[in-house]
Structure 1
Amino acid sequence: MNLLDIRNLSIELDTPSGRVLAVDRVSLSIKEGEVRGLVGESGSGKSLLAQAIIGVLEDKWHVHADRFHWRGIDLLRLSIDERKALLCRDIAMIFQEPMSCLDPTTLIGEQLSEAINTSQLTGYFWQRKKQRKEAVIKLLHKVGIKKHDQCINSYPHQLTEAICQRVMIAIALAGRPILLIADEPTAAMESTTQGQIFRLLANLNQLKNMSILLISHDLENLTHWTNTITVMYSGQFVEAGSTEQIFNKPMHPYTRALVDSSTKANLQLPSKSRLMTLPGSIPVLQHLPIGCRLGPRCPRAQQSCVSAPKVSNFHGHKVSCHFPLLREPGKKESIKHKTVKGKR
C-alpha cells in the first residue's frame, strides 16, 4: 500500500485578474521506504506541490484533487484541522535556504528543544530539562554534528550553511516522521557538502526505513540517490518511472532535454561547444499555453498538442505526451500496450 497516493491534484491561485491554474492535474505516489525524486526547472511547481501536501499554503491558494490518501486515510473527508494534525505528525519538510528558516534570535539548542514532543519524554517533570538536552545531543549526533556543545550554544549566523542544513534535518527528525520532504536541500552548496547531505538522507532511509521525497532541478544528481523519479514542467506532470528508466530511456521530449544537458551526456563534447538546450523559457503563470505547456518549446509539437495529453502507462513507466519518443511524430497508432524496446 502506498503511504501517499495523490491523483489529479490541481492548485489555483487568486489574482486580480481571476484564478490561475498553477498546478494542473498532477499525480504522485510514494511507497514505504521509497526515495522518490521530483524534478523540474525553477517555476515548475515542485515546491508548491510539496507545500500543498503538508498543508502550509496561504489562503490565496486553492487545492483540489480526485484522490488525496495518506496511509489509506482519505484526507479530503477530514476537516482542515484534522488533516493538518495528521500530516504534521507523520510528515516533515526541509525547506530551501536553512539560514532563512531558523530563528536568528534564538540559540540552536533552544530551537531543537522546542521541536521535541513532550510525549517522547518520560519520568518526572523535573527530569524533563535534562532529557530534552540529551535528546537534542542525540539528534545532532544523528545528523553528523559531533561538536554538539558549540552548535547548541550558537546562533544560526555563527554556523556554516551546511551545519544549518543539518540542524534543519535534525529539527525535522525530532518529530519522528514517516515521510521526509527535502526541498532543494543542497541549493547553493559546494559539491562536497552536497554529497554529505545526500549521504545523510540516504542513511536515514536505509537505517530508519524513512520514505523521502527529494526535490531538485538537477536530474543527474538525483539518479545517485533515488529509486523512482517524477518529472514536472510548468505545473504539469511530464513523466514518471524508475530512476533507470527516466535517465536511460526517457520518453518525453522535456525529460530527454534534461538528460542531454547533464554532465554525463556531454563528456565527449568538444571544448567551447554549445550544450543541448530547449529554445525559450518556462512560461509565467499569467500567460500559460493551452494544452501541453511545453508545446511552444517542444521540437515534436504538432497541432494536437493544443489539447492536454493523457497519461500513458508502459509497464510502470508513465508519460504524458501526444508523441512520446518511442515512436515517430505524426503516427497515430495506439501505444497503451506497446512495450519499451530493451526493457527487461
Structure 2
Amino acid sequence: MNMLDIRNLTIEMDTSNGPVKILDKVNLQVGEGEIHTLVGESGSGKSLLAKAILGFINPRWRVTADRLWWNNRDLLNMDAALRRQITGRDMAMIFQNPNSYLDPNSTVGEQLREAIPKGDLRGTFIRKMVDKRTRVVRLLHRVGVKDHDQVIDSYPFELSVGVAQKVSIAMAIAHRPKLLIADEPTTAMEPSTRQQIYRLLTRLSITQGMSMLMITQDVASVMPDSDNVTLLYCGQLMEAGNKQAVFDQPQHPYTEAMLRMSLRDTDAVEPKTHLPTLPGAIPTLQHLPIGCRLGPRCPNAQKDCVMVPKVTRLKQQSYHCHHPLAPNKRRKSAS
C-alpha cells in the first residue's frame, strides 16, 4: 500500500519570459516501511518536490496534481490548518547541513526537549522535566550517541558534523513520524561517517516501521537498502522503479550517464584519466528546452525529442524516453 501517492504533480511560476513549469508532471509513490531514493543533479527539483509534499511552497506558485495523497487523504485540496497538522504529526525532514537546522544559541538538550510532543508527557511539572530528560537520553542512544551527558550540554558548533547530523535525526524522529524525508544528509561526510548514518537510518526504518524518502545527487550515495529509486532531471521524471532493476538494466540515457559518472569509494581510477561526464550543464529556468529537457545534453537525442516523451512501463521500472538504450549498450552495474 502506498502511503504517499503523487500523480502528475506540476509546479508553475511566472517569470519575465512567461510561465515556467519548475516541476512537470512528476510521479512518486512511497509505500509503508519503504526506503525510496530520489536522484538528480543540483537544480533538478528534488528539494522542491520534498517541500511540495510538506506544503512549504511559495503561495504565488501554481501547484496542480491529479493526486497528492497521504494515507488516502488529499493534501492538495485540504484545509491549510489541517494539512499542517497532518504533515507536522506524520512527517519530518532532515537537511544536508545540520548547522542550518540546529539553533546555535541553544544547547542540544534544550532543542531536543522542545522536539518532544507535549501530549506525551504526564504528571507534575517536576515529573515532566524528569521524563523529558529520560526521553532525550533515549533519543540520543537510539541514533548512536553514547556520550549523552556531554552532547546534551553542548552547542551545535561544538559538535562534529557526524554527531550534529545524528542530533538532527534525533529531533526529526522525536515525534515518531511515519515518513522521514532526508535531503542529502551525508554530503561532505567521510565515507565511514556516511555509512554509519546509512546504517542508522536503515535501522530506524526497520524498528519503527518508518518510510523514508532519501534525496541525493550522486548515484554512488544511494543507500544499499533502498527499495526503489526515482531519477529526476530539470523538473522532469526520467526513470523510476526497483533499485536493482534500474541500476542493472537502465533504460534511460540519463540513468546510464549518472551511473557512469558515479565513483564509489572502492573504484580505482588511473592517474590523469578523464572522468566520465555528461556534456553541458543543467539549464536555467529562463531557458528550459522544449520537449524532453535532457535533449540538448542527451547522446541519443533525435528530432522527435522536442516532444515530451510518454511513459513506458516495464515489469519493475518505467521511463520517459523516445530513444531508450539498446540492450547491448547498457552498462551492467554492480550496485
TM-score class normalised by the smaller sequence: over 0.9
Structure 1 distance, partners of 2:127, 2:180, is 30
Alignment correspondent of 1:185: 185
Instruction: Letter of the 2:106 partner, please give it.
Output: T
Shift of 1:125: 3.7
CA contact (8 A) 2:9 2:64 kept: yes
Alignment correspondent of 1:283: 283
CA contact (8 A) 1:239 1:255 kept: yes
Instruction: Letter of the 1:213 partner, please give it.
Output: L
The number of equivalent residue pairs is: 329
Shift of 1:168: 0.6
Alignment correspondent of 2:333: none
> In the alignment, does 2:109 pair up with 1:109?
yes
Bigger drift between 38-47 and 11-20 goes to 11-20
CA contact (8 A) 1:45 1:232 kept: yes
Identity %: 50
CA contact (8 A) 1:259 1:265 kept: no
Alignment correspondent of 2:176: 176
Q: How does 1:69-218 map to 2 (within 5 A)?
A: 69-218=69-218
Structure 2 distance, partners of 1:55, 1:305, is 33
Instruction: Letter of the 1:81 partner, please give it.
Output: A
Structure 2 distance, partners of 1:196, 1:183, is 17
CA contact (8 A) 2:198 2:223 kept: no
Per-residue CA distance 1:245-282 (angstroms, 9 max, x = gap): 12111100000001112236995765422222221011
CA contact (8 A) 1:223 1:247 kept: no
CA contact (8 A) 2:245 2:316 kept: no
Structure 2 distance, partners of 1:154, 1:300, is 54
Structure 1 distance, partners of 2:189, 2:62, is 33
Instruction: Letter of the 1:152 partner, please give it.
Output: I
Structure 1 distance, partners of 2:195, 2:153, is 27
CA contact (8 A) 2:17 2:286 kept: no
Shift of 1:160: 1.1
Structure 2 distance, partners of 1:288, 1:16, is 13
SS in structure 2 at match of 1:157:
helix
CA contact (8 A) 2:9 2:23 kept: yes
Structure 2 distance, partners of 1:50, 1:26, is 12
Instruction: Letter of the 1:199 partner, please give it.
Output: R
Structure 2 distance, partners of 1:173, 1:13, is 33
Structure 1 distance, partners of 2:166, 2:223, is 22
Structure 2 distance, partners of 1:318, 1:143, is 35
Instruction: Letter of the 1:150 partner, please give it.
Output: Q
Alignment correspondent of 2:298: 298
Alignment correspondent of 1:56: 56
CA contact (8 A) 2:7 2:25 kept: yes
CA distance 1:182–1:264, shift in 2 (3 Å): closer
Per-residue CA distance 1:160-212 (angstroms, 9 max, x = gap): 11111111100100111001000000111111111111110011112112111
- Structure 1 gaps of 5+ residues are 330-344
CA contact (8 A) 2:191 2:265 kept: no
Shift of 1:20: 2.2
CA contact (8 A) 2:183 2:215 kept: yes
CA contact (8 A) 1:223 1:243 kept: no
CA contact (8 A) 1:98 1:165 kept: yes
Instruction: Letter of the 1:31 partner, please give it.
Output: G
Q: Provide the TM-score with structure 1 as the length reference.
A: 0.91
Runs of 4+ in structure 1 deviating by more than 6 angstroms, as ranges, are: none
CA contact (8 A) 2:39 2:230 kept: yes
SS in structure 1 at match of 2:81:
helix
Structure 1 distance, partners of 2:223, 2:260, is 14
CA contact (8 A) 2:15 2:286 kept: no
Per-residue CA distance 1:71-112 (angstroms, 9 max, x = gap): 111223311221121111101000121111111111111111
SS in structure 2 at match of 1:174:
coil
Q: Indicate the RMSD between aligned Cα atoms, in angstroms.
A: 1.9
CA contact (8 A) 1:27 1:237 kept: yes
CA distance 1:268–1:130, shift in 2 (3 Å): closer
